Amino acid sequence: MRPAWAAIDLKALQHNLRLLREKAGHRQLLAILKANAYGHGLTRIAAELQQADAIGVARVDEALALRQEGIVKPIVLLEGFFEPSQLAVLAASQIQTVIHTEHQLVQLERAELNTPLKVWLKVDTGMHRIGVEPEETVAFYRRLQASDNVDGDPILMTHFASADTPEVEQNQQQLAVFNSLQDSLQARLSISNSAAFLADLAPQDNWVRPGLVLYGVSPFADRRGQQLGLKPVMTLQASIISTREIDQGESVGYGAAWTARHKTRIGILAIGYGDGYPRNAPEGTPVWIEGRCYPLVGRVSMDMLAVDLGLDSDIEIGATGVLWGPQLPVEEVAEHVGTISHELLCNVARRVVLDYGDEN
């Protein structure tokens, strides 16, 4: 028996990467490994991405961890640097940075660097999160071109707010803003995240930025990853450590939140919100055990959760429950919980063992 662990299928990862590489054609792939590679293990996943052209992370410590593990592929810091003192570190480690504010631009211009940085300029075309204003973009771009601290021409990038619903008008509005800037700059471009890439919203991209789809998960609410030809990379699992019969009217777990409507049998799995499984998972959220799904009952505890096995089940202590994986798509679990697959994957806790299938 084992407490919570996640089997990481590296063959599935390679399958997904090949599929995306083929779809990208002449475009380059910036593989997104934020949040510990969406819970899959930052450095190990990075080592498997030989067919990607670069790696994108959110934080400086993620980028440095990759360099310390011998990853030599180009790395792009998607939120940019937070402090001017980080610029020398980025230059020494050959880490590329996104610029999205004048504050960052001024700090970069004033820095004394031994080696110039490759830079990506992010434009806010309508998401209104980070990025320079469209009317400021040409001036920012020219300043970056003129800076001795910038290596070559910046790459121009933006981010769709609604790419997971490709038909909405906002996508075309954002694209029109971005295209008008490109008419002036003739820059290399990066527009598409996973959803925009699969929906072909911006075929003029020079760089595409697949994240969620690398891990075999669909960015669209109406489709599963397997329907898109993808294979799920993570299978989150835990052992059943206890079974017991419950009489009608007896309750299970904290707050007596679930009461048996008839006599039944429950199983307790060694996984809980301390492992990243969502505490707010409602009654009926499925758990796959030995060929079929069983419903979650009661509140999720820190280290355990309960499922209703029924009196006709022959599931015993030691059986393995799958919280999500090929048998039970993470997209389905996310729907039950009322969240998105990204959150479930990224919340997998550090204490959950990542099993890549090659350790003794």
For residue range 250-307, list pLDDT tens digits in order: 999 999 999 999 999 999 999 999 999 999 999 999 999 999 999 999 999 999 999 9
Percent of the chain with pLDDT over 70: 99
Q: Is the pLDDT of residue 136 over 80?
A: yes
The mean per-residue pLDDT over the stretch 324-333 comes to 98
Number of residues that this document lists for the chain: 360
The mean per-residue pLDDT over the stretch 318-336 comes to 98
The mean per-residue pLDDT over the stretch 162-173 comes to 96
CATH entry, 10-218, from 3.40.50.970, 3.20.20.10, 3.40.718.10, 3.30.70.20: 3.20.20.10
Tell me the binding residues for substrate: 129, 302
Q: Which residues are catalytic?
A: 34, 254
| Closest by Cα among 300, 289, 196, 179 to 238 | 289
Q: Is 135 exposed, middle or buried (0-12, 13-18, 19+ CB in 10 A)?
A: exposed
Percent of the chain with pLDDT over 90: 98
Q: Is the pLDDT of residue 42 over 90?
A: yes
Identify the pLDDT of residue 125.
97
Report the mean per-residue pLDDT for the chain.
Answer: 97
Tell me the binding residues: 129, 302
Q: Is the pLDDT of residue 17 over 90?
A: yes
- The phi, psi pair for 39, rounded to 5°, reads 85, 0
Identify the pLDDT of residue 359.
56
In the structure encoding, which two tokens stand for residue 269, read together?
């799995």
| Closest by Cα among 213, 233, 226 to 9 | 233
Q: Is the pLDDT of residue 46 over 80?
A: yes
Identify the pLDDT of residue 358.
75
Identify the pLDDT of residue 360.
42
The yes-or-no answer to whether 10-218 and 234-355 have a common fold is no
Domain 234-355 belongs in CATH node 2.40.37.10: yes
Domain spans, the chain: 10-218, 234-355
